[in-house]
A and B are shown apart, each in its own frame.
Chain A
Amino acid sequence: MRGIIHCLGAVLRTKLAEQMAYRSHFILSVLLLVAGDLVVPFVTLLIYSSGASFPGWSMHEALLIQGVFALAKGIAFPFFFGMVGTTLHHVREGTFDLLLLRPRPVMLMAMLTGFDPDDFGRLFSGAVIFGFALSGMSQPALGAWLQFGLLFIAAIAILCAVSLFLSGMLFRWVGSSRVFDIFDAVTSFGMYPGTIFAKSLQNLLTYVLPVGLIAFVPATALLGRSGLEALWTLVPVSLFLLLGAVYWNRMLKGYTSAGG
């Protein structure tokens, strides 16, 4: 464990130095991520200001979901999601073997080399939306905050698992940047109140493909709208994460035995 933290520290340092060397690039890329995260909330804002609404959801409540979504990305993306890009690049160029030569677990190496400090910028956009949303509603109780905290960790675990699935897919589906589009499309279900979807789809999005748990369920907990039974969702989350890790390792094995 200490070794891992040591590695992470070293990677963090070099990545930051790299970003400083191209600081204008760094600032702009943070700006881009912030702008990207603001698109859907902006659209939500425009829709609400034209008089329409999600039935049973005020604008601030709807924005709260999108704020939580951006915050979860802000923590999960720097650490985990970069590995998708790393795998994409290294498998396409045939340089993934370099990671296999390191005396550390390959999954860890893939995550470390993909570590991307730019993505912390999303914490900013997330905080802005989140703060704005909270300002327009009554303050949540302490219990709601605790429940939210637990579910938020689960949300990060889901994003980690999704990163593993997408990255694993790229061992076979060489060089396809379309995985990012697939990610955006599939997770877009998670940016809106789950109640707008058909009941069967809601269940699917909670227990099978748990994108509803990234933002909708934690936000509902913060709004005090869900009881403790929401914590049961932690079970499918752990399963999903486990499945992600197993899938990734299988795909890696397939890749290495095929000889690149």
Chain B
Amino acid sequence: MIEVRNLTKTYMTHERGHTLREVARNLIRRPMKEITAVNNLSFTVPQGEMLAFLGPNGAGKSTTLKMLTGVLHPTAGEVRALGLTPWKQRREYVGKIGAVFGQKSQLLWDIPPADAFYMNKAIYGVPDAEYRATLNELVDLLEVGDVMRKPTRQLSLGERMKCEFIMAMLHRPQLVFLDEPTIGLDMIAKENIRGFIRSMNRQGVTFILTTHDLEDVEMLAERVIVINHGTIVFDDALSGLKSRVGNKKSVRLTTETAVPDLQLQGLRIAERLGPLEIGVEIDTDLLPLKNFIREFNDSYGIADMEIQPIPIESIMKELYLENAEARSEAAVSATK
């Protein structure tokens, strides 16, 4: 459905100073700098998949997304999506896709969503009967029958987001891009939105999602692509992401005597929560759990203990940092 090959985007920017002196100097000469936002990305997305893009801020996620939606030309590389090249056949392509931005509303602030829906119906040229059928289905699914007749500004963020989804799905796109779709929502609203996305996905709609909300990823995505510094650093199922960091456990324990700063293979003291309470990370391949418990009980006396798998947040953090380290190491060796 989407085929991306060697997608690259670079652009030039001005460097802008902060101090008055730099600003004064920039009056005369403005240094230019080339930025590689996206570097040689290749991947394919089959029909009906639910794919999440992850990465720290400025990693190149939104640049990639813009190229996939056809609003940005790449510097090099190819994209085929729905049988079209997005930026070349933009008008035709955008008529077939949908997009929801958590922070950029398509609704009209002062009038009810129902009116804005009607406007989009005309823009996308949806026939009357089809429009009514789709609208009814979506409205039932999202339970916004009354909501959509109130002025948008009176709606809660959750209600508004549901209407954003309807706005984006009215022309029955087969491919939908979501950018931070649950940002700022409460737990229940998030659940509703996620449920909606899942049920649309079951009908065969392909979703491409960018988010910082790892819960979105855990609940929705079958596959995760992590981008950092413009390159793909990970592309696999979410479970693969977890096993990638090895068999690690996070352990929180309270001891009878204080644990000193010790060096032990497979163990890292992550945080000190109190004089007798610490959190540690254990690589169970190097330090089997039973060994760890025995040793600690003998040395410090375990009073209380809680064992958990490593949360996905720390995995991501590691992934982002690991990549940055690799880069700075590469930079250092390059200068040598």
Contacts and interface: CB of A to CB of B under 8 A. Distances in A.
Q: Please determine if A and B sit in direct contact within the complex, based on CB atoms under 8 angstroms apart.
A: yes
B155 to A, nearest CB: 15
Q: Give the top 5 A-B pairs by smallest Cβ distance, nearest first.
A: A20-B23, A21-B23, A20-B20, A17-B20, A23-B27
Interface in A1-58: 17, 20-21, 23
Contacts of A21: 16, 23
A20 B16 CA distance: 11
Nearest to B16: A21
A21 B20 CA distance: 9
Interface residues of A, number: 4
Contacts of B23: 17, 20-21, 23
A23 B23 CA distance: 9
Contacts of B27: 23
A14 to B, nearest CB: 12
Contacts of B24: 20
A177 to B, nearest CB: 16
Nearest to B24: A20
A17 B20 CA distance: 7
9 contacts: A17-B20, A17-B23, A20-B20, A20-B23, A20-B24, A21-B16, A21-B23, A23-B23, A23-B27
Contacts of B20: 17, 20
Interface string B12-28: 00001000100110010
A21 B27 CA distance: 10
Interface in B22-45: 23-24, 27
A21 B24 CA distance: 9
Contacts of A17: 20, 23
Contacts of B16: 21
B153 to A, nearest CB: 11
A23 B27 CA distance: 9
Given A17-B23, A21-B23, A23-B27, 6 more contacts: A17-B20, A20-B20, A20-B23, A20-B24, A21-B16, A23-B23
A138 to B, nearest CB: 45
A17 B24 CA distance: 11
Contacts of A20: 20, 23-24
B105 to A, nearest CB: 15
B108 to A, nearest CB: 15
Interface in B132-179: none
A17 B27 CA distance: 14
Nearest to A20: B23
A231 to B, nearest CB: 45
Nearest to A17: B20
Nearest to B19: A17
A9 B20 CA distance: 17
A20 B23 CA distance: 7
A59 B24 CA distance: 43
B162 to A, nearest CB: 22
A56 B16 CA distance: 57
Nearest to A23: B27
Nearest to B17: A21
B210 to A, nearest CB: 26
